[in-house]
Amino acid sequence: MTSWPRRLSEALGRDPIYGVLLVLPLTIWVFATLIYPLAEAVRLSLLDVGYVGMPGSFVGLRNYMETMTDSEFIRSTRITLVWTVLNTVGIVVTGFVAALILNQDYRGKAFIRNWIILPWVFPSVVLATLGKWVLDPTLGLANYLLIQIGIIDRGISFLGSPIHAIYMTSALNVWRWFPFFTVIFLAALQTVPREQHESAQMDGATRFGRLIHIDVPSIAPVMKVAVLISSLWSINIFDLIWLLTRGGPAFSTTTLPIFIYLKGFQEFRISLAATAAVIMFVALVIFGVLYVRGLLAEDLEV
């Protein structure tokens, strides 16, 4: 008696229509969530539309010229780059250090491994609420500890200062995302043969030397992919920044996603918001393609 997977495979081989029907739901989903919104954003960027649903006249590339020369857009782009670098470096470094610690043998390791993922599963609104409480200038835990230690003599408004806000929001985002990459790095570290460490140790290599010459090169491909993923995710963060600072104070945390929201739904300039979104999308695609090509070129050289 022929099993159903084999019968399905034979049916697909005889009639390609079955294959089309199988991928049709996914195709519809991709079109509805990616292709159509992108096409609509491109269409709106070529029109002069203020409100959602309103007709607009065709203006060609005027919106692109206006956006590219807009001082607010340029400022948001610069802040986005700073935000992305802070988060990517923080996430990758913290995740790698945590993975190294979890890769050691000690009591309670299993418990820590099970619960380190907890910050990653927190909803953004919960994380933002906790962050505001911890960083509150009068009742916050952070200021209380700093005052008790003697580092400061009065509370600091971490989220209310243009100097501190970008760093504090980045720190909270790193705290949220580093457990995810810790798990990835830990899995990669556990594939490194113990024989390499034992041989290097017999040759007199220190723990730091084994880290630099064995662990890091062994998981370098995973770390490079993690840099790409964390960069793309960080650039697109909207919810946490909005819940913490709403892009302030003094626009110090107004990244491109915040800029697009403000332009479209507070200034009611939908076409300019769509234009900024298209520019951001194109920039991300170019960055991703160049980064992946660089990785592939390195693999070919090796």
Please state, for a pLDDT cut of 70, what percent of the chain lies above it. 93
Contacts 24+ apart (CB under 8 A), 218-222: 218/188, 218/189, 218/191, 218/192, 219/185, 219/188, 219/189, 219/192, 221/295, 222/184, 222/185, 222/188
Domain 19-301 has CATH 1.10.3720.10: yes
Q: Can you tell me whether residue 171 is helix, strand or coil?
A: helix
Tens of pLDDT, residue by residue over 65-96, are: 999 999 999 999 999 999 999 999 999 999 99
User: Which residue is it, tokens 């700093």?
Assistant: 146
What are the structure tokens assigned to 99, written together? 């993975």
Tens of pLDDT, residue by residue over 153-163, are: 888 899 999 99
pTM to 2 decimal places: 0.88
Domains of the chain, by residue range, sit at 19-301
pLDDT-derived band of residue 98, with 50, 70 and 90 as boundaries? Answer: very high
User: Which residue is it, tokens 């302030």?
Assistant: 248
